[in-house]
Structure 1
C-alpha cells in the first residue's frame, strides 16, 4: 500500500521525476522498520512467532535485502515497475489460486537451501518495497506453516528487510537525479516520518485483526490487494 500511495503522491505533486518510484520504494522500506517491530511485538503476544525460523533466516534475508537495493539503484523506473508488478502478481496467484493445503514439504529448509531462499526473499522484497509478509509469508506457507504463524514470523523478517534495504537505498541513491526534495538518497524524510507514524500506530490493530480472520479470507483478501497494487504501479509507471 505504501509504495502505491507514495508513488502517486510524488508524481501527482510533481516534486520528483525519474526517481519517484525508487524513492517511493526506499521510503516505504524505511517506514517498515518501526511498523514491523510493533507488528512483531503484537504477534509475539499471541505466541505465533517461530523464533527459531526468525533467528536462522534473518541474516540471509538481510543480505539479500542489501543486494536488492543495489540492483534497484541501477534499474530504470520502468524496469523496476515491471519487476515490482510481476513479483506481486506471482505472489497474488500463489495466495489466491493454489489449493488451501498446497505445500512443497512440511518443514522449513535448512543449510544452503535456507541461505538461497532467505536471500531471495530479502532481494525481491527490497526491490518491491515490502516487508516480510508477502514473500516470507508465502514461503513459509509453501513449507507447511499455518498462515497466521507465517505472517507473524515474516513480520520479523520485515525488520531486517526494512533496515538493510533502506540503508542501501540511501547509499545507492545518494547522487541520483529526479528525487523529491528533502530526500536522503532514495528515502524521503518527511514522507518517512509521516507514514512511519501512521503505520506504526495501526500495526497492532492489523495484527489483532489477522488473528481473528479466517485464514482463507485472509489469503484471498491479501491476494486481491497485491494484484490491485501491482497493476496500479505498472500502469502509472508507463
Structure 2
C-alpha cells in the first residue's frame, strides 16, 4: 500500500484511540500520539530527519492535544467533574513550565527524549498502580498559591518534554490532595489545554530553523495534526462517558497498564 494512503488511514486511527484515552484518563492522548508518530517516522512513512524525529512527534502531539482537550473538558464539565479553582491555581505555572520544556527538548537528542519519555511514564504507572486510595474526608484540601505555581511549572515542563499534555502528573497531584479520581481526571483534562497551547507554541518557535518535513511549522507537522485531531475530537466525549461508568479501582489499573506498555515500547528504542 502506498505511503500516502497508509497515512490517510493511520493518522485518523491514531486520533480515534488517542481521543478515547483523552476523555477516559484526562491525559490528552499524547501517550498514544508520540510513540505512534515516532514509529511512523522510523518506518519511513514520512521523511523526517532522525535528529528531530522525536521533536516533531512531541510538538505535533501537543498541537493535537489542543483540540482533544477542548472536546474532553467540555464533556467532563458536563458531568460536573472539573474543579475549576484547581485549574486556575495550576494554569500560570503550567504555561511557564511548558515553554521551558519546549526549550529544553530542543537542546536534547532524539534518543534522550525517548528515554525521558519512557522513564517518566514508568514512574507514573508505578504510582497509579501502587498508591493507596484517598480517604473521602480529605476531598478538595487544595494547597496554596506557591505550591500550585511550583507544581504547575513542574507539570508543564515535564509534559512538554514528553508531549503528554500533563494529565499523568496532574491526576496524581490532585489525588494526593484528596480530589476523587473522576474529578481529578476531569480537572486534569482542563489543565491539559494551557499545557498544550503553550507547549505547541514553544515547539513551533524552537523548530523554526530545523530541517522538518514539508507542511510543517517548526516542529509541528500539520498533515498529522489535522488527521489525528479530527478523529480524536469525535472520540474524546466517548472516553469521558466511560470514565464516569467504570469503577474507580478499575480505572486506576487500566491507566497504569497503559503507561507500562507505552513506556516499555519507548525504552526499547
Q: Partner of 2:265 in structure 1?
A: 232
Q: Which moved more, 1:84-93 or 1:11-20?
A: 11-20
The 8 Å contact of residues 119 and 267 in structure 2, kept in 1 or not, is answered as no
Asked if 1:218 is matched to 2:251, the reply is yes
Q: What does residue range 35-50 of structure 1 map to in structure 2 within 5 Å?
A: 35-50=68-83
One of 13, 38, 42 as aligned partner of 1:11: 42
The 8 Å contact of residues 20 and 180 in structure 1, kept in 2 or not, is answered as no
Following superposition, the deviation at residue 234 of structure 1 comes to 2.1
Q: Partner of 1:2 in structure 2?
A: 33
Alpha-carbon distance in structure 2 between the residues aligned to 1:140 and 1:62: 18
Q: Which moved more, 1:204-213 or 1:7-16?
A: 7-16
Q: Partner of 1:172 in structure 2?
A: 206
The 8 Å contact of residues 10 and 180 in structure 1, kept in 2 or not, is answered as no
Asked if 1:120 is matched to 2:120, the reply is no
Alpha-carbon distance in structure 2 between the residues aligned to 1:99 and 1:142: 10
The 8 Å contact of residues 65 and 122 in structure 1, kept in 2 or not, is answered as yes
Following superposition, the deviation at residue 181 of structure 1 comes to 3.1
Q: So what's the TM-score if we normalise by structure 1?
A: 0.94
Following superposition, the deviation at residue 142 of structure 1 comes to 1.4
Q: Partner of 1:31 in structure 2?
A: 64
Size of the aligned set, in residue pairs, is 234
Q: Which moved more, 1:92-101 or 1:64-73?
A: 92-101
Q: Deviations over 1:178-236 (max 9, x none)?
A: x3332211110100000111111111001111111111111111111111111112213
Alpha-carbon distance in structure 2 between the residues aligned to 1:6 and 1:202: 19
One of 10, 13, 22 as aligned partner of 2:55: 22
Q: So what's the TM-score if we normalise by structure 2?
A: 0.84
User: What do you get for the CA RMSD once the two structures are aligned?
Assistant: 1.5
Structure 1 gap segments, 5+ residues each: none
Q: Partner of 2:193 in structure 1?
A: 159
Q: Deviations over 1:8-28 (max 9, x none)?
A: 111112511221111111100
The 8 Å contact of residues 121 and 135 in structure 1, kept in 2 or not, is answered as yes
Asked if 1:203 is matched to 2:245, the reply is no
Structure 2 gap segments, 5+ residues each: 1-31
Asked if 1:95 is matched to 2:108, the reply is no
Alpha-carbon distance in structure 2 between the residues aligned to 1:231 and 1:174: 31
Asked if 1:150 is matched to 2:181, the reply is no
Q: Partner of 1:188 in structure 2?
A: 221
Alpha-carbon distance in structure 1 between the residues aligned to 2:128 and 2:73: 22
Secondary structure of 1:134's counterpart equals helix
Question: Which runs of at least 4 in structure 1 moved beyond 3 Å after TM superposition?
Answer: none
